[in-house]
Structure 1
Amino acid sequence: MRHRHLSTLTLALGIAVLLDVLRVWLPSVITLFGRAAETPAELLGAFALGWFLLALAAPTLVRRVGAAPVGLVAAGVLAVARLALTAQPGGPAQLWLACAGLFAGLVWLAAIAASVPRPVAGLALGLAGNAVGHALLGTEDLVWRGGVLAWSLSALLVLAFLVASAAVRRERAGARERGDAARTAAPATDAADGDAGRRVPTPGRRAWLLCGPTLLLAGQVALAPALWSAAAGTGSPDFPGLVRPGNGALPGALAVLLFLAAASFRAPARVARVLWPLALLAGSVLFVTGLLVPAYLLTAAGLGGCLALTDTTDDGPAAADGRGAAEPRAAATDERGADGGRAAVLGMLVFAVATVAYYAAYDLGYPNGWAPVATAVLVALVAATAPLRPGPTPSGAASAGPALPATVRVAALAGLTALAGLAAALHVPPAQARATTTPAAVRVAAYNIRMGFGLDGRLDVDAVARELRGADVVLLSEVDRGWWLNGGHDTLALVAGRLGMPYVFAPAADPVWGDAVLSRFPMRSGQTRRLTAHGAPTGAQALGVTLDLGGRELAVVATHLQPPPGRDPVEQAGEVAAFAGRYANGRPLVLGGDLNTEPDDPAFAEFTRSGLVDALAAARPLRTSPADDPRTQIDHVFVSPGLTATEVRAPRTEASDHLPVTLTVTLP
């Protein structure tokens, strides 16, 4: 394998490993360091950004020690941290292992950026490969899955990365020895003349600067399998949020195809300068507005095309000292290579700032749609101002030509696209149930699942599903369908798959975070209502679903009230109670969720004032939060008069920061 092809493979594998670590590090910062919003948002943001600021020293280390040794050591630490996370998921060890892996990954990026002239092919393959692998796993990372399969695949990925990294170092060492021997054999004057006239290849700083922003836009929008899945649940105008099996198969595979095709094969330069930046900007805006399918398709094409526009080298003649003598070739290469490392680390700092800025809005309260749009603007500007043609390749230098042959690029594109389609086919949502005879009672569960993360910071979908198993109707709060900050998982699809229950989803904070209803009975219609914020930083909604109980109908409303800082959510409670009454329209009604109010508070009284009955009254006090030391009663279920609630429980578990509430509702 040629040196430049081996470097491309190493970069792709390293990006895949780094993304695996990021998918653990991001939620660990929130659930473990953040302690379920107990840590001030400012301190949490400073902790997250601190690791990226610390990595700004990595290019200096690379320049002084050398890219090869620094890169190999950093690759080893990154690989060890990745495997250690599989061995130790959850708890403080998970947080610090992920931090070590992240920092090692940033140092490795700085090192490899100092020696890879054109990184676009490696970045594109790494991003697409990791996304397809994530899709094949149903968006549940190998780190969280455990078992023989997880260990085998994790070890295979890490081993391939380390072998490729070591092979690259051997290739570079051999090339350096051959170059030294050639210069020693040549006459001194000829060598001096040759060095003075040669151009030193510099890693394309533009492409490396876009590494971080590209990771953000790919993970949050373009190459986010959870988003592909969430976008499949568009339902119909009279029933929004109902997932229809198979809706996400073609668009998800198409996103991979568009991204790789645009990144691998150049469009005419003058057309590409306009087409790809506009597509990227349009996709980011559509994501903010909630039009998910066109958002990720346009973002995928635009992101890949913008990367292709930066696929050049910033070559220039070897620098000269003050006396006019040519700078030694090795020194020039180290210094100019360090520029690539600095660009890569600065790009990752942009990734961190944009990620923190987007999600901190849900604690601090400000419009956050500008964060992905501003990131897209940055990528578009850097791409649109890139040189039209790649720089020339100096004799004896690393090639600045195409990183991979056309046949390899076509094979990679076709293979990854096919695997993305296979992933969608393997993870089809449960189908709607058929109508049965009218049951005498319905088992109901209401649970704030905290995006599937337990108190130990571990994504444990099995633990969540265990608490809900046996329920006929499930009302879920804090449902995540692709938040990049939580690792980009479709938690709803994972839980529903384990329970074998179809579901309806309603967005609240943004298009992929909200509430859901799962049911073993056929779901005939649905309606959502966005709640007024009243000063709360996080959005809220009410989701109504009509169930067919074998000829009778039951109206179900799921919600998660978001109180303004220091206040009771009394206004939102009134809005939900009014919505539920209109939606039920005389039918039996069950309403529940995380209401963030206690039985003696004014918001609670809004529900009883509307005529609803506290279904948990006989079991009170029924404290549900925090899960490890329940002190507050903020998770509730109300029913319409005539329904009887029995077997009320709040089983102890640490699968979330709340306890689930389960009960049996007897129909009149």
Structure 2
Amino acid sequence: MELRGVARRAFGLAVGVLLFVDVLRVWLPSIITIFGQAASTPAWLLGAFGLVWLLGGFAAPPLCRWLGPRRVAVVAAVLLGAARAALLFVHGGRPQLYLASAGLLAGIGWLAATADRGARVSPGVPLGIAAASIQHAVLGMVDLSWRTSWWAWLAGLAEVAAFLWLSAGDQDDPESPAGGWFIVGPALLLAGMLAVSPALNSVALSYLGAPFEDTNRPFLYAPISVAGALLFLWSAVSPPERLRLAAGLGLVAGTVVFAYAGGRWLPVAILLAAPSLGICVGLAAERAKHRGYALVGGVLVFGLAAIAYYAAYDIGYPNQWVPVAVGLATAVYAWRAPGPARVTVVRPAVVVTAVVLLGVSTGLAGVARTSGDRRGPDQPRLRLVAYNIRMGFGLNGRFDPDATARAIAVERPDVVALSEVDRAWLLNGGHDDLALLARRLDMHAYFAPAADPVWGDAILTRLRVGTVRSLVLPAAGAPTGAQALGVTVPVAGREWTVVATHLQPPPDGAPDAQARALTAFAKGFGGGPTVIAGDLNIAPDGTTMGLFRDGGLADGLAPFRPVPTFPAGNPVEEIDHILVLGGLRVTDVRVGTTTASDHAPVAVTLEG
């Protein structure tokens, strides 16, 4: 095949992978937020729903033998492009869920047919993965699918048009020795979770700052993400054979650090994983006879590993081994491959220069950031909002950080206590909720992990923060984990304490052990004016609330009951609470009517 045809196929594959990743970023969270309803849908049922669609991909290889891979590729490409285009305009609800599911199935079918037609994994697949990461960073982690502006529609439609045009002129090369298609699924998982995740870069930057404080700056994570994606791409396009063993060891080491070492080691994990994964993808080129089945099998590994990792936070079992196992399997697969079929289709220096300039210029747009009124109010009064943000997804399953920010900003709060803050989970589309909200609200952020280094609770404020502490609360059978994050802020010349938390009751029980630990933690700040705010998952007349009262904490919302906050839109349950200590009293209680989360925000004025 002539060089022009090889280049066209590589770029067509890259754009197709970009569209496929875009669909994945909608499909994965749609399972949780649309098919699943809060914690009421069993984790096994969510996993089964996802597996049904992934297993459907096994129909593609037989169809390729029956109809021919070219015909299957053409039909699947049209369906993938149509689903991707529709997701630009359809936001939320069952239509979003099933459009994304159809796009996923079409994407698997197109990839399987492309593999059977003799395409090479590299450079097309790593170029597509890198392009998806760069686009995600440049767009500020809010993808085209979640935007409603005209330019987003035009950009998305242009990508679809480019994909269909490049695919239309693609030629079969059935005698090609290129294989390695099994590695695509594991590569997508490790790239999205770790190696080239802009959200994880954002979080890694924040952990490099002072304890707990999010020192992330928007002008840093975008160019860093671009550089990381290009490092991954460069390693994949020109994989050095002599580094085969080192790359495998580096990938395994990166996943181990990611899974076990904690937040401050995230930069090390990323630096190890990005080039190592790229080299492994570039080296995976065995002579496979059943390339379509290899591709579908690898995508199934993606799904099974994602389910195994994230279902642990609902069911409750150790899950750190999952990324390590996938990294090890990827390293072994690349080690056993005979080596890549080298074809140069791009001038990397040109691509590097253009994309870095784009990333830096886009990131610099967010440089300006004011420090706010760090002195604190002159009167003994504080406006506080407590909000379970549900990873930034609305009741209809749409990711909309602007709506979340508006729901908070309307109350003009001094301090915000956030629950269910997701900072990089691939399951939820790979967003850093905290960075997105802090930027939109022009507030400083303080974060403490509960489940892993990128999931937990946070406090936003413009006030000067003094003491910052965090405590991991007893799990007591609750799989997700819980913590308490406390900060002190100046109010009328005194230090007030604000504690943000999200209690996780054990199965068939109440979070009594967590309540006792939380009470002791809050009183440990000295017993001055103190407020605990968050989703406590308890009823106001339950035994756990009695434990708080016995510990000296008062139910700040008691004079205003009922104060239902869940589910948003038609709240009937009172599970978001404000507890006070040290002479504080609550006034001016308002429950928001927004459906930007499955909880409604509760805003109060604290006086003392």
Q: Specify if TM > 0.5.
A: yes
1:107 aligns with 109
User: Structure 1 pair 203/74, CA: closer, same or farther in 2 (3 Å)?
Assistant: same
2:234 aligns with 261
Same amino acid, percent of matched pairs: 46
CA contact under 8 A between 2:488 and 2:498: conserved in structure 1? Answer: yes
Matched residue type, 2:23: V
What's the CA shift for 1:236? Answer: 4.6
Q: Find the partner of 1:356 among 274, 297, 307.
A: 307
Post-superposition CA distance 1:60-88 (Å, at most 9, x none): 11122122221111111111111111111
What's the CA shift for 1:454? Answer: 1.3
SS, match of residue 463 in structure 2: coil
Q: Does 1:125 align with 2:127?
A: yes
Matched residue type, 1:635: D
CA distance in 2, matches of 1:424, 1:280: 28
Q: Does 1:216 align with 2:156?
A: no
1:654 aligns with 595
Alignment of structure 1 residues 608-627 onto 2, 5 Å: 608-627=549-568
1:523 aligns with 465
What's the CA shift for 1:587? Answer: 3.3
Matched residue type, 1:160: A
Q: Find the partner of 1:593 among 525, 528, 534.
A: 534
- In the superposition, the TM-score normalised over structure 2's length comes to 0.94
Alignment of structure 1 residues 184-333 onto 2, 5 Å: 200-204=175-179, 206=180, 208-234=181-207, 236=209, 239-245=211-217, 248=221, 251-267=224-240, 269=241, 271-289=242-260, 290=262, 291-310=265-284, 312=285, 314=287
What's the CA shift for 1:253? Answer: 4.1
Q: Find the partner of 1:500 among 429, 432, 442.
A: 442
CA contact under 8 A between 1:86 and 1:142: conserved in structure 2? Answer: yes
CA distance in 1, matches of 2:111, 2:344: 18
Q: Which of 243-252 and 585-594 deviates more?
A: 243-252
CA distance in 1, matches of 2:594, 2:376: 34
Post-superposition CA distance 1:376-430 (Å, at most 9, x none): 0110000111114x4xxxxxxxxx541425xx13333444444444454444594
2:417 aligns with 475
What's the CA shift for 1:432? Answer: 3.6
Matched residue type, 2:204: A
Q: Does 1:370 align with 2:299?
A: no
Post-superposition CA distance 1:605-638 (Å, at most 9, x none): 2322222222111111111112233222110011
CA contact under 8 A between 2:376 and 2:490: conserved in structure 1? Answer: no
SS, match of residue 307 in structure 2: helix
SS, match of residue 372 in structure 2: coil
CA distance in 2, matches of 1:13, 1:294: 30
Q: Find the partner of 1:412 among 322, 346, 351.
A: 351
SS, match of residue 140 in structure 1: coil
User: Structure 1 pair 587/579, CA: closer, same or farther in 2 (3 Å)?
Assistant: same
- In the superposition, the TM-score normalised over structure 1's length comes to 0.86
Q: Which of 58-67 and 413-422 deviates more?
A: 413-422
CA contact under 8 A between 2:137 and 2:222: conserved in structure 1? Answer: no
What's the CA shift for 1:539? Answer: 1.2
Q: Which of 601-610 and 439-448 deviates more?
A: 601-610
CA distance in 2, matches of 1:234, 1:359: 22
What's the CA shift for 1:258? Answer: 2.6
1:181 aligns with none
Q: Does 1:461 align with 2:401?
A: yes
1:13 aligns with 15
Matched residue type, 2:214: L
Alignment of structure 1 residues 14-33 onto 2, 5 Å: 14-33=16-35
Post-superposition CA distance 1:328-358 (Å, at most 9, x none): xxxxxxxx4xx11111111100000001111
Matched residue type, 2:212: P
User: Structure 1 pair 343/386, CA: closer, same or farther in 2 (3 Å)?
Assistant: same
Matched residue type, 2:257: L
User: Structure 1 pair 244/464, CA: closer, same or farther in 2 (3 Å)?
Assistant: closer
Alignment of structure 1 residues 124-203 onto 2, 5 Å: 124-169=126-171, 200-203=175-178
SS, match of residue 61 in structure 1: helix
Matched residue type, 1:201: S
SS, match of residue 658 in structure 1: coil
CA distance in 2, matches of 1:200, 1:641: 78
Q: Does 1:74 align with 2:91?
A: no
What's the CA shift for 1:212? Answer: 0.4
User: Structure 1 pair 600/520, CA: closer, same or farther in 2 (3 Å)?
Assistant: same
Return the index of the structure with the highest Cα Rg. Answer: 1
SS, match of residue 170 in structure 2: helix
User: Structure 1 pair 45/259, CA: closer, same or farther in 2 (3 Å)?
Assistant: same
Post-superposition CA distance 1:259-291 (Å, at most 9, x none): 122212232x2x412210111111111111222
CA distance in 2, matches of 1:48, 1:491: 24
RMSD: 2.0
CA distance in 2, matches of 1:437, 1:571: 34
Q: Find the partner of 1:545 among 487, 499, 518.
A: 487
CA contact under 8 A between 1:132 and 1:423: conserved in structure 2? Answer: no
CA distance in 1, matches of 2:326, 2:355: 26
CA contact under 8 A between 2:378 and 2:493: conserved in structure 1? Answer: no
Q: Does 1:490 align with 2:461?
A: no
CA distance in 1, matches of 2:330, 2:356: 24
Matched residue type, 1:642: G
Post-superposition CA distance 1:532-573 (Å, at most 9, x none): 211111111111112234743221110001110011001001
SS, match of residue 44 in structure 1: helix
Matched residue type, 2:570: D
Note the residue ranges of structure 2 that are not aligned, 5 or more in a row: none
CA contact under 8 A between 2:485 and 2:501: conserved in structure 1? Answer: yes
Post-superposition CA distance 1:443-498 (Å, at most 9, x none): 10001010011111111222211221111110000011111011111122222222
Q: Does 1:433 align with 2:407?
A: no
Q: Find the partner of 2:576 among 628, 635, 643.
A: 635
CA contact under 8 A between 1:525 and 1:545: conserved in structure 2? Answer: yes
Matched residue type, 2:123: A
Task: State the aligned residue count.
Answer: 599
CA distance in 2, matches of 1:155, 1:143: 11
Matched residue type, 1:203: A
